[in-house]
Amino acid sequence: MQYKLGELAEVINADLKGDPDCVISGVGTLQNAGSDQLSFFTNRRYARFLKSTTAAAVVLSVEDMNDCPVYSLVSKDPYLAYAKAVRYMNPEQSSDPGVHASAIVSVTASVHSSACICANSYIGEHAQIGENVYVGPGCVVEDNSVIGKGSRLVANVSVCHNIEIGERVLIHAGVVIGADGFGITNEEGKWLKIPQLGSVEIKDDVDIGANTTIDRGALENTLIEEGVKIDNQVQIGHNSIIGAYTAIAGCAVIAGSVTIGKRCMIGGATAIAGHIVITDDVVITGLSGVTNSIKKPGTYSGAMTITDNLTWRKNMARFRHLNELAIRLKAVEDKLDKSS
């Protein structure tokens, strides 16, 4: 489809510097965009590409406007404006309603007439599939689970029994929602499984990345609040609560009974220990290990940065003696205090 630049400027609430009738038919990077494509500039590392871009127009801030050789869409938040433009130019594709011949739908299930159930999917007893829901190929929705209006299960998604999913939830391929939590206890050296009797509640407008797993609660429910965005390959343990509008990057591991507040940002490959509370508006940078509750908003880091192997090995050798050095230092300080 084609869009006029003036139309896009109105959609993203940007100040247009250029021809409103300029036709835009796609998007591209600064260095590779064609003469009919839109691009954006937010990172100073790409300043050299801005000055030589052949895009039709660039979304940028007022501070960078004079360095742009082509038409400009000037915004206070260029990346947000660009995102809105891309969403407008690439609307979600609608699916034809109906149930594929190879799908299995229980006679007790409720499937809205506008829903699309694709090939080789299974809808269990008393499950409820809402208006305009898309259940992609190979998906499983087990007994008594509810999928809310406008939600999409992309492919090979497993929604276990008694799960409640809200409206406009996007669940990518390979996600498992409601598998048993890691509930076990030890009896004379052998592990005894504890039945997981809770469920999972996912509120409206949540995105869940590919191959992410969200475990059901042991007694009460695991809860993902509205607007949460979860990347690929994230593990969320039983009875955890993820606050509204929190974002969790790929490969993060969240143990059981963790409460994460609203508007938090959890970096990739972060590991969060069980039974702790993280307050609202916390940013945890990637590769961090979180073992204690965080009570104040702010940015927290806990990873050691990379260095050459020889230096790392020397540092680790010294690190093993850190407690010994601390004890010796304390002894010296006590001795100095007594002599002063």
Q: How many CA atoms lie within 13 A of 38 on its CB side?
A: 33
144-147 contact pairs (CB < 8 A, 24+): 145/178
Please report, as a single letter, which amino acid is at residue 323: N
Please list, residue by residue across 169-186, b when 16 or more beta carbons sit within 10 angstroms of its beta carbon and e when fewer do: bbbbbbbbbbeebbbeee
Dihedral angle, C-alpha 152, 157, 159, 164, nearest 10 °: -20
Maximum CA pair distance of the chain?
Answer: 89
Residue of 100, 161, 238, 321 with catalytic role: 238
Q: Could you confirm whether 238 is annotated as catalytic?
A: yes
- Name the burial class of residue 328, with classes exposed (0-12), middle (13-18) and buried (19+) by CB atoms within 10 angstroms of its CB: exposed
- The residues assigned a catalytic role are 238
